[in-house]
Amino acid sequence: MADVVIITGGTKGLGRASVQKWLAEGWSVATCARDEVDIAKLEAEVNTPNLLSQVVDIADEVAVRGFVKRILERWKKVDVLINNASILGPRETIENYSEETWRKVMDVNVNGTFYFVKKVLPSMLEQKQGVIVNVSSGAGVKGSKRWGAYAASKFAVEGLSQVLRSEVIDSGVRVYAFDPGAMQTEMRASAYPSEDPKQHPTPETIANILFDIATVYEPQLGRLTVKEYL
């Protein structure tokens, strides 16, 4: 039986590049995204039985539970969980930040990550092995103006990763917070519209590093940055 990975937010940027990388390496890949059109495009492009894709709002605990249940019914296990899906939100001051938008960003970036960890972790603990990588950001280490809910959410992801790692450290399950740095993605372009994207690595380059972290290396640190590997 092939190894199984879940990659959230698998239709764009690092998520899409990671889906392609894991499939190329012979893995069974489950991925989700919010947009039905994006999921359809991915399925048409990949067209393999090794891909299980579904429209899922990761801020919806019931939807996440159903998706993970479907994965486990099909493949019986999850070896790696990549919590990649996130949204940026507006580059706005806290004073002017919309409460509704704040809740939306936190629901996706923090609660969505928690829901997937919560649903996948029992199977990993039962098999006494697994890897969880929560994709973080430099914005979650040092707060800067106009990063609003995105920064707060990534601080929370860093904290969640530390707590979880301390709880499972002797279980055979490895947990990392991974800061991919700047990439040539739509999210980066939205945050820095005047920036030349070609000065940054492609998502494919970072996806290769992420694959190695999850499957080849066994770093001792709980927080990893892409600069350690480039």
Catalytic positions are 150
In the chain, beta strands by DSSP E: 4-8, 28-33, 51-55, 80-83, 130-135, 173-179, 223-225
- Give pairs for 217-220: CB < 8 Å, separation 24+: 218/174, 219/176
Q: Strand 173-179 to strand 130-135: parallel, antiparallel, or no bridges (unpaired)?
A: parallel
Name the DSSP class of 182. Answer: S
What are the distances in angstroms from CA 89 to CA 23, 152, 176, 186, 229? 30, 11, 24, 13, 29
Q: Could you tell me the two tokens for 66?
A: 């159903």
Q: Could you tell me the two tokens for 27?
A: 């893995």
Whether the Cβ atoms of residue 75 and residue 67 lie closer than 8 Å to each other: no
For residue 130, the tally of other CB atoms under 10 A from its CB is 24
Whether the Cβ atoms of residue 83 and residue 6 lie closer than 8 Å to each other: no
Name the DSSP class of 163. Answer: H
d(CA 15, CA 32): 10
